[in-house]
Amino acid sequence: MSDQIHFVALLKTGDSWAYDKLIEDYQHMVYNTVLGIVNHLQDAEDITQNVFIQIFKSIHDFKGDSKLSTWIYRIAITKSLEWERKKKSKRSINYFKNLIGISTESTEMSAFHHPGVELQNKELSALLFKAIKKLPENQRLAFVLIKVEGLNYQEVGEIMNKSTKSIEGLVLRAKAQLKLILNDYFTE
């Protein structure tokens, strides 16, 4: 913890070595979290960039009440959800443009193939990601952080400001919901 205090103090002074280390240590964590939420390789990289800019701008707000990684996860999640909302409204506008014939841009989401999934699981995981998108926000975040990012219930609870019990509940409900959605996909 004292290492973290010292490291954050260096970040607050704008120390370039500290920022190098921050990017080196957290780039994959941020990228994978964002990718798990937005399901788009290029967008995930752009959002990761925004996350580090946000960290740089608001490091003075970090009080040290939580772990630095928890704080970074929260920024990554917030930025990803903001991006999703923008993308959603853009898709709705395109949908209406298509309806009245002033645009031919596709409003359909293409299947997402996570680069870390083994070849034999590619199609199934693409279906799973499609189903995850349909979950309520809290269930989706808890499921992604546990399944894709490999965090435990306690860590996810700290990130989402919830108890371990409620995270367990969210994941259970997410799994039940996913079974129903996947059942529809396989019976179609």
Partner 1 sequence: MKTKIEQQIDDALTSLDMVKRAEISPYFKTRMKGMLTKIQPEPAFLSFKFTLAMATIAIILTANTFLLYQRLNQNSASKKPIHEINEISEMYHFNSTPVLDYDNQ
Which 8-state DSSP code applies to residue 55?
A: H
Would you count residue 75 as binding partner 1 (CB under 8 A)? no
Q: Residues for the chain: how many in total? A: 188
Rounded-to-integer distance, Cα 188 and Cα 181, Å:
11
Shortest CB 109 distance to partner 1, Å: 17
Whether residue 178 contacts residue 131, with contact meaning beta carbons closer than 8 Å, is answered with yes
Would you count residue 187 as binding partner 1 (CB under 8 A)? yes
Would you count residue 10 as binding partner 1 (CB under 8 A)? no
Whether residue 75 contacts residue 54, with contact meaning beta carbons closer than 8 Å, is answered with yes
Would you count residue 115 as binding partner 1 (CB under 8 A)? yes
Would you count residue 118 as binding partner 1 (CB under 8 A)? yes
Q: Per CB under 8 A, which of residues 121..150 are in contact with partner 1?
A: 121, 124-125, 127-128, 131, 147-148
Would you count residue 48 as binding partner 1 (CB under 8 A)? yes
3-state percent helix, strand, coil for the chain, nearest multiple of 5:
75, 0, 25
Rounded-to-integer distance, Cα 72 and Cα 28, Å:
12
Shortest CB 113 distance to partner 1, Å: 11
Rounded-to-integer distance, Cα 164 and Cα 157, Å:
5
Nearer to partner 1, 52 or 153 (CB): 52
Residues lying near partner 1 in the complex (CB under 8 A) are found at 12, 14, 16, 19-20, 23-24, 27-28, 31-32, 35, 41, 45, 48-49, 52-53, 56-61, 114-118, 121, 124-125, 127-128, 131, 147-148, 175, 178-179, 182-183, 186-187
